[in-house]
Amino acid sequence: MRIFSGIQPTGAKHFGNYSGGFRQYAATQDLGDAFFCIVDLHSLTTPQDPEGLREATLDLAAMLLATGLDPDRSTIFLQSHVPAHAECAWITSCIATYGELRRMTQFKEKGKGQESVSAGLFMYPALMAADILLYQTDKVPIGDDQRQHLELTRNVAERFNSRYGETFKLPEAIYPQVGARVMDLQEPERKMSTTGGTPQGTIGLLDPPDTVRRKIRSAVTDSGSGVRRADDKPGITNLIDIMAVATGSSPDEIESRYDGSGYGKFKEEVAEAVVGVLDPIRLRYGELRGNPDELRGILARGAAKAETIASETLGTVYERVGLVAS
């Protein structure tokens, strides 16, 4: 089985990224031949400070390793180090339709209110499709917010196969059973985010323990009492999901365990559980980030393996569409 997923090196990573992404990556790397790509080309869809992007890319490499990826069990690499990604993106952009790309929810959200939106922001789902399809991917561990993009990837693969012959596998998503979408602690109607969320409502993966405790203590809950999940109780529902991610217990087990407890006691124990998860990550991240040469070596070895597989697929694609071989 081939596993593939990608993550952008933009923004400080938070508990929502851990719940829907990093935690899944570590859990799925033993399901088969696993590829995890830092999609730095995707970051260029919005203006970036060049030096900041370089630092953020190495930050993310360190975080992937600190949260459990093992370079001896997974292939970890940069998208820009494998030219086949950009080359195949032209092919997938010629297969995807304008209507499909226009309907992408993330494009609408990120472009809302902006005077000028880059063409790359509109086209990047085609690049994402190329990222996945190049590796003949079976399973894609992703968060719930990427569901629409994976559906587009499958549509592109099916259309290409119908037009040019069986070429691409149709990838399937792996979503977290719990914590697929962690919400902002202060505004639990919207997801946790370092760009669109509130500072006090976002738990950074590198936040010190006292900061984590303070943010969770001040989390918005709901009128009434009782630690239970409900549509009209988004604040406490979010805390239950966070507790489930941090402890490995199911939401039902947590509701039963804290039946009759007040919100104050529950928040304290959620905070300690999250601190217990993040402390070793923060310490390991510091060790890794202090050795950038080691990080670059891991990424270079990953790119060499990824390039071999991606180039083989791209060669087949070029032949199928009728391009003359060099």
Q: Identify the CATH number of the domain in which residue 232 sits.
A: 1.10.240.10
Residue 87 shares a structural domain with residue 171: yes
Q: Quick check: is 62 in a domain?
A: yes
Same structural domain, 261 and 306: no
Q: Domain range spanning residue 238? A: 209-286
Whichever domain contains 79, its CATH number is 3.40.50.620
Whether residue 80 is found in the same domain as residue 124: yes
* Residue 188 forms part of a structural domain: no
126 found inside a domain: yes
What is the rounded average pLDDT of the residues 171-185? 91
Residue 2's pLDDT band, with cuts at 50, 70 and 90, is very high
Average pLDDT, rounded, for the chain = 94
Within a domain: 202: no
Q: How confident is the model at residue 224 (pLDDT cuts 50, 70, 90)?
A: low
Are residues 43 and 208 in contact, defined by beta-carbon separation less than 8 angstroms? no
Q: Does one domain contain both 165 and 95?
A: yes
Region 186-195: what's the mean pLDDT? 91
Answer for the pair 184, 190: CB distance below 8 angstroms, yes or no.
Answer: yes
Q: Which pLDDT belongs to residue 326?
A: 85
Is the model's pLDDT at 178 over the cut of 90? no
Residue 152 — very low, low, confident or very high, per pLDDT cuts 50/70/90?
very high
Helix axes 50-66 and 263-289, enclosed angle (nearest 10): 110
Same domain, 47 and 63: yes
pLDDT beyond 80 at 112? no
Looking at the domain assignment, is residue 190 inside a domain? no
Q: Report DSSP state, residue 79.
A: G
Averaged pLDDT, 231-249: 94
pLDDT band at 10 (very low <50, low <70, confident <90, very high): confident
* Across 11-37, average pLDDT: 94
DSSP conformation letters of 124-181: HHHHHHHHHHTTT-SEEE--GGGHHHHHHHHHHHHHHHHHH-S-S---EEE--SS-SS
226 and 267 in a common domain: yes
What pLDDT band is residue 9 in, cutting at 50, 70 and 90?
very high
Q: For 256-314, what is each residue's pLDDT tens digit?
A: 999 888 899 999 999 999 999 999 999 999 999 999 999 999 999 999 999 999 999 99
Residue 225, pLDDT > 70, answer: no
Number of domains in the chain: 2
The span from the CA of 141 to the CA of 27, in Å, is 9
Do the strands 172-174 and 74-78 form a parallel or antiparallel pair, or are they unpaired?
unpaired
pTM assigned to the model? 0.93
Domain presence at residue 115: yes
- Evaluate whether 174 touches 142 at the Cβ level (below 8 Å): yes
Distances in whole angstroms, Cα of residue 249 to Cα of each of 23, 51, 256, 301: 15, 41, 11, 37
Res. 8: pLDDT tops 70: yes
Tell me: do 114 and 257 sit in the same domain: no
Assess if residue 88 is contained within a domain. yes
Question: Mean pLDDT, to the nearest integer, of 89-94?
Answer: 98
